Each structure stands twice: as structure tokens, then as C-alpha cells.
Amino acid sequence: MSSPATADVDSGEPADNGVDDTEKSDSTTTAPADDTDTTGDTVEDSPEVDRWQRFVADDPVEEPATEPTGRLARLKHRLVTTARHEWTLAALASVVLAAVMTWPVLKDPLHTIPHDVGDPLLITYVLAWTGHALWNNPGGLWDTSAFYPLSDSYAFTDTFLGYAPASLIGSGTEAALLRYNLLYVFAFALAFFGAYALFRQLGARIAGSTVAAAAFAYAPWKLAQAGHLQVLSVGGIVLALAMLARGHGYSLRHGYRPKRTRWGWVIAGWLVATWQVSIGFGMGVPFAYFLAGVCVVAAVNWVLSRFPRIPWRVLAANAGGILIFAGAGILQAIPYFRVLANHPEAERTLDYVGFYSPAGPVSWSVRRSRRCGGPRTNRPGLRWCGIRRPACWSGSPFWHWPWLV
């Protein structure tokens, strides 16, 4: 038995469901009562219907003037979010802390020099020469006006090429002093910020990272090196390590996470490492040795871990970064090899290095010095002349005091 609603296929006539033609037409032409489409969205509220109504309207529908307000609101939200971001606050705190801890360097930066009038003034001249040569005679960069007519005299000490952008700004003695003082404060600020970024990437919390960054940026050994900007400029080391660790998705808390790799951070890390070496080989060579050791350890760990998958973009970024790092270092070293060939007496023997190194394992070794007529420490040490003769502390940075306390 067939249902009344089923069509008679053999006869070819439609089944009669008890509804006349009028009712059928009414039922087929009447819109749904709830004005909803098959997706459950209201038809009148549909974006397509709203856009069509504006198009066919007799009078053009004016858009409400909310777009500029929306853009301003979004811009304000982004600015507020950026201002409140952890890295923005960390950068600001680094600058403020550096200004306070190196006070009174910025009290009168146009007419004063921190620490003493020895190496700081030499570095001030080197920085000024870099800008002068780049503006007037880039080809004669390595032949400074000092020690004329000797060639490659720019390689008689660290070149500070990494600070060349700052050297291009200003001229004259006051500009030279201001440049050095600002870079002096910048070195401490970058050291704090870079160390903070590294420890945060490795898994430390904010409080622990802050303490570790302060210990790194204002370590007691820097008291004996306060006149050597090339030694104080170590912020690029920890910042490059932080970028490389982030690019490889590595932390001490979670280990290696392939999904966290970012090839852009890898390239940025190698570029910062290259910049660090361009400041000078005094800290650049030990940093290069350290990076080489990290690469060896990483390669051995990769083999022992049975060759885990590494994204090809990360491998390409490392290959390109290593080539840039090594190439820049070799190009910068060429003039130094020429100086060594022309001046064999400039070679530093092991006896020479041992004379300026601490005697034995004692880190508080004291050596005689002509400065202030009294002994001082070499590394990390205290300035014993400052203790014996308080007048020697005039102009010393504020961060000397708490470490003595």
C-alpha cells in the first residue's frame, strides 16, 4: 500500500495530498515567518542584503562617520599596548637605570669624561675620526691623522666601527665628548636589556631576569674597566644569544621546540653578533670562540638526539648568518695582520698577557700602578687608589659606590 503523498509513477500523475492548487501557490510564495535563511542568520541583517539595499536605494546611503574614530581608536590601542609591553618597559628601565648608575656622566656631558683622561679620550678621538673619515675620505679610514705617516694606524687599537652611525653625527670637541658619554651610558643600558632578554628567553621569570641582568650589566669587574668602552660594550653578546635562542625555539625550561623556530630571529641574532665583533676584537674574539663552541655542542646534541627535524629556513638562516659573521670578521682582521707584518714588536706574547692577568686563582690580586700613586686591582678588583685617596673618586660613576658598600 502506498502513501497518499507518494506520486503514482506508473500513471505519471502527481499524487493528491489533499491540498488544492490555491493553497499550494500560497504556500510556495509566502516567505518564512521568521525571515531567516538556511544558515540561521536573519536575512535582513545579512551583509549581502544590506550591501544590495544600499546599492539599489534611490538616495545613496551615507556611511556613518565612524571610520576615522575607529582608526584612531585602533591606533590608540596599539600605542597603549606597545607602551605597556614588557619589552618596552624593560628598554625604558634599562636606559633610566643606566643613567642613574653612571651618574654624573650625564650631568655635564659636553665638558666631562668618565673615569679618567687616558683611554676614554683616546676612544673619543677614534670615534671622531671614524665620522670624519666616512664623511670626507672613506678610502683613508684606516690611515688616521695620529701616527702620521704610518699606514693602518686605525688598527692600532679597537676600531669601534659598530658605533660608526653615532660617529657620523656632530663635529668638534663638544660633540665628541657628548658622543662618548652617550655611548658610555648606552653600553650599560644595552648590557642590562640584552641580559634580561636572554634570561627571559631561557625561561627565567621577570624578577629573576631583572636580578641576573643587573648582575651582568653592573658586575664588580667592570670597575677596573670603566675606561675601556670596548670592554664595557658587551650588550650585543647577550642580545645576540637571546635572538638566536628565540629563533631556534630553545629555552632551558622547555628545551628545543621545533614549532617555536623563527628564521627571522636567527638572522637578526647573527647580524647583532656581527655588529658586536665590529666594535672591537677585544671582546669580539672571545665571543667568536664562544659561538663556535655553541655550534659544536648543538651539532653533537643534534646527532645524539637522532637527527630531529630542523626547518630548512632555520638552516638557511644559520648558513647565511655564519657566512656574514665570518666574512665581516675576516675583512676587519686584514688591516690588523698588515700591522703585525709591518710592526713585529706589536705581537702580544704569553708573557705579555700574563703580566696583565691576575696572579693565580685569586681574583682580588693587586698590582702596582702609577695612577694615583697607589695600587689598584686589575680584574675584577676595586680601585684601591680610590680607597686610599678619595680625591681620585671625583667624577666616578654612581654605580661604583653600591658595590663598595
Check: CB of residue 322 under 8 Å from CB of residue 298. no
The answer, yes or no, to whether residue 385 has pLDDT greater than 80, is: no
Mean pLDDT of all residues in 215-241: 93
Mean pLDDT of all residues in 295-313: 88
Check: CB of residue 223 under 8 Å from CB of residue 382. yes
Mean pLDDT of all residues in 379-385: 30
Residues forming a β-bridge with 255: 251
Q: Does an H or E element contain 367, and which?
A: strand 366-367
Give one word for 13, left, alpha or beta, with left for phi > 0 and alpha for psi -120 to 50. beta
- The average confidence (pLDDT) of the chain is 78
Q: How far apart are CA 272 and CA 60, in angstroms?
A: 56
The answer, yes or no, to whether residue 49 has pLDDT greater than 60, is: no
Kindly report the pTM of this predicted structure. 0.71
Q: Does an H or E element contain 131, and which?
A: helix 119-136
Range of lowest pLDDT (9-23, 41-55, 135-149, 238-252):
9-23
Mean pLDDT of all residues in 358-363: 56
Mean pLDDT of all residues in 113-136: 92
Q: How far apart are CA 291 and CA 281, in angstroms?
A: 14
Check: CB of residue 101 under 8 Å from CB of residue 399. yes
Task: Show the cell assigned to 15.
Answer: 499524487
Residues forming a β-bridge with 36: 42
The answer, yes or no, to whether residue 333 has pLDDT greater than 90, is: yes
Check: CB of residue 380 under 8 Å from CB of residue 224. yes
Nearest CA to 201 among 255, 149, 146? 255
Q: Does an H or E element contain 250, and which?
A: strand 250-251
The answer, yes or no, to whether residue 161 has pLDDT greater than 90, is: yes
User: Side chain identity at 149, as an amino acid letter?
Assistant: P
Mean pLDDT of all residues in 295-319: 89
The answer, yes or no, to whether residue 59 has pLDDT greater than 70, is: no
At residue 71 the predicted structure's pLDDT band, cuts being 50, 70 and 90, is confident
Check: CB of residue 226 under 8 Å from CB of residue 232. yes
**DSSP result, 200-225:** HHHT--HHHHHHHHHHHHT-GGGGGG
240-253 tens-digit pLDDT = 999 999 999 999 88
Mean pLDDT of all residues in 140-154: 90
Could you tell me which residue, 391 or 202, shows the higher pLDDT? Answer: 202
